[in-house]
A and B are shown apart, each in its own frame.
Chain A
């Protein structure tokens, strides 16, 4: 554009051009850049520039408009969260494992709760047994089934309760012993050294 044209655009920016001149300007696409730059210069001189200067504002607005449907449309979202499942899934797997275990444990508690309050020193951690005689259906990890099948028919409920009570007292005693034995000094000669508890 020639020098004269530039002055004309400049006059229009400063509001010194008539309506006819503005209409001409609007129809002259090559002057639009100048129009924007002169406004920018004017803003800068008046100290009205925004903190982040978008020199190519119209382009970025056009780009934003193009992107907008993608943001609104839910289908476009998975692109961003592709990497997430890899992080989330193992965590849930682990939780699932504990949740299942907890559910099984709840079933098991039904079988042992009737005596769980009998003098337990460690109620929060009282063990939940997983044996066939105590809880129907739960498969024990290493329980010799044949042996017990032979014994079981002869058992009354009282005997089964007695059995559970004894199993639990052994386990509770074992856990209590961990505290009592903690002071035992181990030496390298395989000798038994008991706690000098009465000092």
Chain B
């Protein structure tokens, strides 16, 4: 499979010789454009059960990255990023700030990050060109190396190198999530709202006191490219149940592993929501291991069954 894809890559490259750009170079240019350019994009986020219109504005004020994300429909739900502090402004709770170098939830953080990290789990393959938002988009496929993660496709504007569209596809090629740019405007100066956001005093960065070191859980198997990024124990929102928590990521997909006392009604061994979040659980004595993430269910089953305590 991999060889075939590599052969295809080698075959496809000369066809786009006028560009002299590899799939990786396109992604690297996109990563740089997302961090360096000043732009405003109107986009819609499509999931199986929802369609959300959004505006994302990015610029640089006094050398610092400033970004603003606004949900246009429904209750107010905005996020502002100045440097590496992201403030969430939502209707149902006071604004709060977190340390983060991207605003989560819309454009995958990995797209503005280190492309080399993606290569561990995905083959980067050049695709064709399509017209999106009145611009020409070069498609790049992120073909998973194994069956443990979903496939991605991203269309990059040939002019600005900003993303125009992004698809997440399940293994049977069903669309799980799509981000579609409607309008993209590149600007020379930062948008006035970004200059205001830069001057504004935002709430101090939250220090989650409940974030304590977790137990030394080990996995006897993880898909290539996945790493543990956080271990802690905290209480679940909603049920306030205490859990041991481990976060895994390969740059594009995030997986959460929980270890908790199993309740009266155990969680089904496998389930999947309509927007692609899978869940797997395994009972170990009176504990249950629950794995959640936007990856195929069998990945979660295998990860959950390979967890042990050193």
Identify the A interface with B (CB < 8 A).
Answer: 97-98, 101-102, 104-105, 108, 118-121, 123-125, 127-131, 133, 140-144, 147-148, 151, 155, 159-160, 162-163, 165-174, 176-184, 186, 190, 192-199
Q: Once the chains bind, are B267 and A163 in contact (CB under 8 Å)?
A: yes
A-B contact pairs, 6 of them (CB 8 A): A123-B92, A144-B270, A148-B269, A151-B266, A171-B292, A186-B229
Given known A166-B241, A171-B292, A177-B245, contact A131–B268 (CB-CB < 8 A)? yes
What chain A residues lie within 8 Å of B247 (beta carbons)? 177, 181, 184
CB of B207 within 8 A of chain A? yes
A interface: dominant SS: helix
A163 to B279, CA, bound (A): 13
Supply 18 further A-B pairs (C-beta < 8 A) apart from A130-B271, A169-B238, A192-B230.
A102-B49, A105-B48, A124-B74, A127-B274, A127-B275, A130-B273, A140-B272, A144-B269, A147-B268, A163-B263, A163-B265, A166-B239, A174-B292, A177-B230, A177-B247, A186-B229, A190-B228, A199-B205
Q: Once the chains bind, are B272 and A130 in contact (CB under 8 Å)?
A: yes
A143 to B269, CA, bound (A): 7
Q: Once the chains bind, are B208 and A197 in contact (CB under 8 Å)?
A: yes
Identify the B interface with A (CB < 8 A).
Answer: 46-52, 71, 74-75, 77, 84, 86, 88, 90, 92-93, 98-102, 104-105, 109, 117, 175, 205-208, 211, 227-232, 236-239, 241, 243, 245, 247, 249, 251, 254, 256, 258, 263-275, 277-279, 290, 292-293, 297-298
> Residue on A with the closest CB to B172?
A141
Q: Once the chains bind, are B99 and A155 in contact (CB under 8 Å)?
A: no
Q: How many A-B residue pairs have CB under 8 A?
A: 195
A78 to B271, CA, bound (A): 49
Q: Once the chains bind, are A179 and B100 in contact (CB under 8 Å)?
A: yes
> Residue on B with the closest CB to A101?
B48
Q: Select which of B51, B205, B265 is within 8 A of A162 by beta carbon.
A: B265
What chain B residues lie within 8 Å of A166 (beta carbons)? 239, 241, 263, 265, 267
Q: Select which of A140, A163, A169 is within 8 A of B236 by beta carbon.
A: A169
What chain A residues lie within 8 Å of B275 (beta carbons)? 127-128
What chain A residues lie within 8 Å of B239 (beta carbons)? 165-166, 169
What chain A residues lie within 8 Å of B258 (beta carbons)? 170, 173
Q: Once the chains bind, are A160 and B265 in contact (CB under 8 Å)?
A: yes
A4 to B117, CA, bound (A): 95
Q: Select which of A101, A133, A184, A193 is within 8 A of B274 by beta carbon.
A: A101
What chain B residues lie within 8 Å of A199 (beta carbons)? 205
What chain B residues lie within 8 Å of A198 (beta carbons)? 207
What chain B residues lie within 8 Å of A167 (beta carbons)? 267-268, 271, 279
A170 to B241, CA, bound (A): 10
A171 to B298, CA, bound (A): 17
Shortest distance between the CB of B7 and any CB in chain A (Å): 29
What chain A residues lie within 8 Å of B228 (beta carbons)? 190, 192
What chain A residues lie within 8 Å of B293 (beta carbons)? 174
Shortest distance between the CB of A11 and any CB in chain B (Å): 63
Q: Once the chains bind, are A170 and B279 in contact (CB under 8 Å)?
A: yes
